[in-house]
Each structure stands twice: as structure tokens, then as C-alpha cells.
Chains A and B, each alone.
Chain A
């Protein structure tokens, strides 16, 4: 049974960076893509980007280009999403979500990581 476990809540000041981790287990790490999706308080889901752990290729949503970096570490089974130049409207729950192929459904989700940006 696949499982995605994310790192704990973070509080950051405007202008700082945050790095959220997602530890995958229960499946072959390099056989599945990983998406990052965020949800601001009381708002809808927003797709941020995708990484292929088999090689590390990434595609980011245009909105986050230049501010987001997604990486993977095959030795530990961990994926990371780093968001820089944080603003108050980056306050959200950040999720990692697995997909079997490009275009495929997000079949397993992490529990979410709350990132609060406040001065």
C-alpha cells in the first residue's frame, strides 16, 4: 500500500523560502510521477507542478515559474518542493500527490503541510 508522508507545518516571514518534503513508501519510487498541489484557506485546489523521480524532469505551472523548485532523492524516497520569495497569499496547505503516468489520476495524496506566511 502506497503512502506519502509530508513534513510538518511551517511559519515563514515574507520574502523567505520554504522547503516541504514528501516521503514515499510502499511502491517503486521511480515508477510514478509526483505532483504538488496547494489550497489556500477556504479556497480551491491549485496545481503547482510535476516531477518525474526517474531522472528529475519537472514542469511547473506558469504562475510559479522562477519561484518553485521540485526535486527528488531516489536514495531516500523523498521529494521536495521549495517555494521562494514567499508572500502572504502563499499561505496554504501544500499537498504532494502521486500519478501513474502523465495525465493520470492523482491516486495517493500526502496529508498536507500548512505553510503560514506572516510578519
Chain B
């Protein structure tokens, strides 16, 4: 099972929107709606920000949103804030194994 493909980095100014893509195949991202996104700050454990493609856990700001089309999922952060600077990973259920994305570093300029 190959890792899902994400851009290495994206950046934006405070208040702007950024979108991170996560591309897989018809066996993982395209096959299931069990697609989640994790935020990881340096030296910390990951934290879920989106699950089942577009659902937000309680406590996660509504500036985080998710979507999916065919084999590509996307995470959008609207109204970018300094604390959003972190690494982001997508993760898809793939029938039995799970597979993570390659990770994207978000920089707030």
C-alpha cells in the first residue's frame, strides 16, 4: 500500500485560505468515506481535525473543512491563523490496512 500523495508544503498569510490535496487510488480514497485529517505540531502527537471526509470533531474551529472528489480529498483552512502552522496528514481506510498521506507543512507567513 503506497502512501497517499500530498504537496510537501503550502503557505498563506493570516486571514487567507489554504487548501491541501490528498491523492490516492480507487482502492483507498476513492473507495471509502473513511478519510480523516490530522494536525501535528512539532514534538506533539497528531490531533484529528476532520473525519469521514468532512466532519469536524467538537472543539475544532469551523475554519477547517474537508471534501472529496473521486480519488482526491482536500482540507481547506479558511481565515488562516498563526496557530494553524503545523504539519497535516490525511489518512484513509483501505479495506483492511490504513494508509497515511506523505504530509504537508503549512506555513503562516
Determine if chain A interacts with chain B: yes
Residues of B within 8 A of A46 (CB): 100
A45 touches B97 (CB 8 A): no
Q: Quick one: closest A residue to B96, CB to CB? A: A59
B101 touches A107 (CB 8 A): no
Which listed residue (A59, A102, A105, A110) contacts B45, Cβ 8 A? A110
Beyond the given A44-B102, A45-B38, A104-B51, could you list 20 further A-B residue pairs with CB under 8 A, ordered by the A residue number? A37-B100, A44-B3, A44-B89, A44-B101, A45-B46, A45-B91, A47-B91, A47-B97, A50-B98, A61-B1, A61-B97, A62-B97, A95-B46, A103-B32, A103-B93, A105-B48, A106-B38, A106-B48, A109-B47, A111-B45
B binding-site residues for A, Cβ under 8 Å: 1, 3, 32, 34, 36, 38, 40, 45-48, 51-52, 57, 89, 91, 93, 96-103
Residues of A within 8 A of B57 (CB): 105, 107
Measured between alpha carbons, how far is A37 from B97 in the docked complex, in Å? 12
Q: Quick one: closest A residue to B101, CB to CB? A: A44
Measured between alpha carbons, how far is A103 from B96 in the docked complex, in Å? 9
Q: Could you give, for residues 80-115 of chain A, a 1 whenever the CB lies within 8 Å of some chain B CB and a 0 otherwise?
A: 000000000000000101000011111101111000
Measured between alpha carbons, how far is A111 from B100 in the docked complex, in Å? 19
Residues of A within 8 A of B3 (CB): 44
Measured between alpha carbons, how far is A35 from B96 in the docked complex, in Å? 12
Tell me the A26-81 residues at the B interface (CB within 8 Å): 35, 37, 44-47, 50, 59, 61-62
